[in-house]
A and B are shown apart, each in its own frame.
Chain A
Amino acid sequence: MRHVISPQDLSVTEIERLLMLGDDIIARPEAYAESARHRKLATLFYEPSTRTRLSFEAAMLDLGGHVLGFSSQEASSAAKGESVADTIRMVQCYADLIAMRHPKEGAPVVAARHAKVPVINAGDGGHNHPTQTLTDLMTIHRELGSLEGLTIGFCGDLKFGRTVHSLIAAMRRYPGTRFILVSPTELRAPDYVLDGIRASGCVCEESRSMEAVMPDLDVLYMTRVQRERFFNEADYVRLKDSFILDVPKLLHARPGMIVMHPLPRVNEISVKVDDNPHARYFEQARYGKYIRMALILALLEQGKEGAIL
């Protein structure tokens, strides 16, 4: 039984086939409208994440399937002290597939160990969120046509940003990727992330200035610089503007460069950028539904002839 707990659980080939399935779903949605008929997806959300849950549910509904589940710890049986293992044993009697969000790291590993149906990790604390990574890859694939030979700038909080670490781990598997990391010193990417890039043979540069690197980028991936990450208010105020994207900073961008953001955005991207031809962060959410449809189908069909997984 294949589960998707970490982005690394999928090979480059499997990801490529998922992206192609996503392309086909976008091109011919009607052909997939009954693909998961009579199948049920359980969304087990031990902490609220409306964005992710709605994306999973919309994906399953667009495949003609059904959804059931809970959307907060209080509503779950965990509130009565039930273990993850016991909840899974119960839920798999009703569902063909499980998407699980949990505040504790590694909870989906426990779920997968007990599940007789596929488990998708829909985010476990600050650890893994593979469908966010797939969403990012789908966005780049759709907007730039390839995942190879790209220069990707990551900007903001690169120390704690789980989405950044996962996307870096995914993109360093493609030949010719060049990473440019733009962050305050306090929020540099951890050494293991930098070591991982070097070990892969990809190029990695660090910078303190978004403007300086802008002309080189094919993708600018923005993240939030949170106030609580700084020791004092003065440092935060001094640094935050350098890591806020506004229209003037985009003047020297390449014509086809795309701006991405995992959302929700707070103030790190000026709302004036929303209409800018470079902005793609709202399209990202739409691609997220299609790649989740592809993943759900691949997991439900796994093991069959010609299946992706």
Chain B
Amino acid sequence: MNIDSIHNGIVLDHIQAGRGIQIYQALHLDELDCVVALIKNVKSAKMGRKDLIKVDEMIGLDLAALGFIDPNITINLIIDGQVAQKKPLNLPRELVNVMKCKNPRCITTIEQEVEQIFRLTQEDPPLYRCAYCETAFRN
């Protein structure tokens, strides 16, 4: 497989080394039928080492989930073999069904169909709180 020759698709660049698999899973890339490459420990002038993900199809990305896992990732949209757009990520205001509230007294622990919603309540350092019980999320 020639992983460099994406014609129409997406390259996720500047992924913190070792985080690639987490992003692969969070974006459910295992469910795709197209060519997907997860490349680990690529040499990087800026980061020393980084991970890279290439997807040979223009798929919709959950930018909120991505921004939450690693806001420093660069997204390159490749159209006709050219980088058409570089998208920097922002911290998403709201995260839906990305992580679960860990407060055992939270309503989301007993009502399974309730969406897991977290809101950004502080930018620096980023702090997300459960939209129901307001418990802060910690990794």
User: A residues touching B (Cβ–Cβ < 8 Å)?
Assistant: 83-85, 102-107, 109-110, 124-127
Contacts and interface: CB of A to CB of B under 8 A. Distances in A.
A110 B111 contact: yes
14 contacts: A83-B111, A83-B113, A84-B107, A85-B114, A105-B103, A105-B105, A105-B132, A106-B107, A106-B130, A106-B134, A109-B107, A109-B132, A124-B107, A124-B133
Nearest to A83: B111
Given A83-B113, A110-B107, 7 more contacts: A83-B111, A84-B111, A102-B107, A103-B105, A105-B105, A107-B132, A127-B133
Closest 5 A/B residue pairs (Cβ): A106-B132, A105-B133, A104-B107, A106-B133, A107-B107
A78 to B, nearest CB: 9
Contacts of A105: 103, 105-107, 132-135
Contacts, number: 48
Contact of B134 (A84, A102, A107, A127): A127
Contacts of B113: 83, 85
A85 B130 CA distance: 18
A126 B104 CA distance: 12
A19 to B, nearest CB: 26
Nearest to A84: B111
A28 to B, nearest CB: 39
B105 A104 contact: yes
B132 A110 contact: yes
Contacts of A107: 107, 132
Nearest to A192: B136
B111 A109 contact: no
B125 to A, nearest CB: 14
Interface of B: 103, 105-111, 113-114, 130-135
A110 B131 CA distance: 10
Contacts of B130: 106
A27 B124 CA distance: 50
A127 B106 CA distance: 10
Contacts of A109: 107, 131-132
Q: Which of B113, B131, B133, B135 has the most CB of A within 10 A?
A: B133
B57 to A, nearest CB: 35
A252 to B, nearest CB: 39
B114 A110 contact: yes
A83 B132 CA distance: 15
B105 A125 contact: yes
Contact of B105 (A83, A84, A85, A126): A126
B61 to A, nearest CB: 27
Q: Which of B107, B131, B132 has the most CB of A within 10 A?
A: B107
Contacts of A110: 107, 111, 114, 132
A125 B109 CA distance: 13
Contacts of B132: 105-107, 109-110
Contacts of B106: 104-106
A102 B111 CA distance: 13
Contacts of A124: 107, 133
Contacts of A125: 105, 133
A37 B23 CA distance: 57
B132 to A, nearest CB: 2
Contacts of B103: 105
B124 to A, nearest CB: 15
A105 B101 CA distance: 11
A118 B105 CA distance: 24
A84 B106 CA distance: 13
A3 B108 CA distance: 20
B134 to A, nearest CB: 7
Nearest to B133: A105
A109 B133 CA distance: 9
Contacts of A127: 105, 133-134
A197 B83 CA distance: 50
A109 B114 CA distance: 11
A84 B109 CA distance: 13
